[in-house]
Structure 1
Amino acid sequence: MEGFPVFTGEYLFDSCSSVQMLLTQETVTSVCHQHDFLELAYVVQGKGIHLAGEDKMQVMQGDLLVIPPGVSHVFHPQDLTGAEPLLIFNCMLRPELCRILRELPRPFSEVDMLPLLRLLEVKQWFWYRGKSVELTLLLRRMQGMQNYGSLRGQQQLYPLLFEVANLIMPAAAVPFTQQPGKDYDPLHDVILYMISNFRKKITLKEMSRQISVSSRQFQRLFKIKTGRSYIQMLQEIRMKYSCILLMFTKLGIQSVALEVGIYDMKYFYRLFREYSGMTPASYRNRLQSHFLSAKEMMSSAEHCSH
């Protein structure tokens, strides 16, 4: 398996939704991933790093990142201990929203819809840093409507999406250029490298060279700044990635272990149980059961509404 895991709309959207919204708290070991939908990621609170493909940028409250399908990315909080949260409001738009908008019984004009239709077709990630009060208010209104799962509720979101797209689309044409700020900690580069390369055998000595310190000094610095050892963080990254693979793929347990760079199955089972409190098979079964139950509830609700 190549690249990073793909978060699929099949798992994240209910059956009648083309728009899904989530508020997430990013951690130092968040998984680098892709999706098969467009994501608008708005920084609600905190500061951090955003890695999109090969591009790395510092983000802060008020920034909005537009991530198209197929672009690998991850957020990384600036505070490595977790004391200062990085909160992201995720607005996810399925590709079929284009078709849905065009099939609406014309409550909206083509001019109103055009910025959103163009937004849904972007291929390159971009960011908006306008610090616009109008954008903040629009996104807060959308966040307040995140439980509107019905078709009618979804349609109430569209005018807000039209306004958001109209505000941010000019930023799509602006090339990305940014240099790390004075407060940038090079330890972020080490951890982001771990997140992107954990399949490999990456040694402590190799990582210490990245920030030009001795292995002993690196271990001490890493522990002080993150609250855990280098090995503890590397294994946490591998276990998080294992969980994602169990959820979003049909890979066998042994293939999952190999995919995260662990070749001793007894060791993998022990690490996974320590991390999740259950075996990999139990974890997958629990997720699939929860997923099917949610789908059945949606199906039942739709049936009752007709």
Structure 2
Amino acid sequence: MNGRLRHLKGDRFFKEKTGIYLNRIREAFMTPKHTHDFIEICYVDEGSGYHHVHNQVYRVKRGDLFVIPVGTSHVFRPSSPNQREPLVVYNCIFRLDVLDKWRHLLPCDSSVHYVIFHPSGMEIPYLHIGDKHDQIRPLITSMHMEYLRKYESYEAILSSMLMQLLTLVHRIGHEEAVPQDVPCRKTGKLDDAMQFIREHYCEFLTVKQLADFMYMSQSHFQRSFKRSTGLTFTQYLQNLRIQKCCELLETSDQPVHQIANMIGYKDMKFFHALFLKKIGMTPQQHRRIHQTEGYRAI
């Protein structure tokens, strides 16, 4: 099998006529980035880690929710290979036709409506909100239990709960107004810095360069950056570079040392140590897993 992006088909999950499937899983490092022909709602229930979605990487924790439409690539990975620090995620996936009878209930100008029905027209082809007040968790937990038990008429209950979930996501997203962590929207000065990093990540970058670019002192820039992203400048840059490295390992046959140079690392000893720390395996192991093994169930 080559290193192309995996594409998952809903047929392997939708055994019931509802067209809705739920699970709660512990994410792993070996899961490849993928797209799918169904809509997926992901809710982080336990632990912390990273969500590689589209061309961004998010540091995630309990309460983070993403709506991933058809065709948007993503994968969750725990922050550590240590099994004592798991990243546990609820996944609710469903076919688009499940909403045929309910579509009119979602405001046509809402981000939920766009991400489900018109993702190609969005600057950011996914939706991310935070369940700050634990409004969503009880609902998605109940949905999961309903799916597992399969009591009489559970299909009707699941469908109605799905609409309740989407409506709640719309309300919370509307209350948040302009999300502070969406990279493609101008939410403050630091967006320009993060865009600069994404465009020049393979070059030699320093805190001083970014601070000068933002007309800030180095200490002010570092405090602001950490407060906004939850990461230091160095951590953010390293995560971005390793993400790009993983994508190249999975989709090309270029030598590892050449890929390391392409993402900004000349010191191969440092690069190998950093990759092992971030991903939990060597670059060669990562390539071998993703180019020879199939994708495990969501």
Q: TM-score range by the shorter chain?
A: 0.5 to 0.7
Query: What is the correspondence of 1:118-157 to structure 2 with a 5 Å cutoff?
Result: 118=113, 120-123=116-119, 124-149=125-150, 152-157=153-158
Is contact 2:3-2:251 (8 Å) kept?
Answer: no
Shift of 1:217: 2.7
Compared CA separation, residues 189 and 164, structure 1 to 2 (3 A): same
For 2:100, the aligned partner's letter is R
- Match of residue 181 from structure 1: 230
Q: Secondary structure at the match of 2:295?
A: helix
For 1:9, the aligned partner's letter is G
Q: 2: distance between equivalents of 1:29 and 1:205?
A: 21
Moved more, 74-83 or 7-16: 74-83
Q: 1: distance between equivalents of 2:277 and 2:150?
A: 44
Q: Percent identity?
A: 21
Shift of 1:82: 4.5
Q: 2: distance between equivalents of 1:26 and 1:68?
A: 20
- Match of residue 228 from structure 1: 281
Shift of 1:61: 0.8
- Match of residue 201 from structure 1: 253
Q: 1: distance between equivalents of 2:240 and 2:112?
A: 36
Compared CA separation, residues 203 and 2, structure 1 to 2 (3 A): closer
Query: What is the correspondence of 1:271-286 to structure 2 with a 5 Å cutoff?
Result: none
- Match of residue 95 from structure 1: 96
Moved more, 87-96 or 122-131: 122-131
Shift of 1:44: 0.9
Matched, 1:218 2:267: no
- Match of residue 50 from structure 2: 49
RMSD of aligned Cα (Å):
3.4
Q: Give the number of the structure whose alpha-carbon radius of gyration is greater.
A: 1
For 2:27, the aligned partner's letter is E
Is contact 1:48-1:75 (8 Å) kept?
Answer: yes
Shift of 1:67: 0.3
Matched residues, number: 237
Is contact 2:14-2:20 (8 Å) kept?
Answer: yes
Compared CA separation, residues 6 and 112, structure 1 to 2 (3 A): closer
Compared CA separation, residues 191 and 238, structure 1 to 2 (3 A): farther
Gaps in structure 1 of 5+ consecutive residues: 103-109, 248-306
Q: 1: distance between equivalents of 2:35 and 2:17?
A: 23
With normalisation by structure 1, the TM-score equals 0.65
Shift of 1:164: 1.5
Q: 2: distance between equivalents of 1:148 and 1:121?
A: 30
Matched, 1:77 2:78: yes
Compared CA separation, residues 228 and 18, structure 1 to 2 (3 A): closer
Compared CA separation, residues 127 and 23, structure 1 to 2 (3 A): same
Compared CA separation, residues 50 and 220, structure 1 to 2 (3 A): closer
- Match of residue 26 from structure 2: 25
Gaps in structure 2 of 5+ consecutive residues: 120-124, 184-190, 195-228
Compared CA separation, residues 228 and 113, structure 1 to 2 (3 A): closer
Structure 1 stretches of at least 4 aligned residues deviating more than 6 Å after TM superposition: 112-117
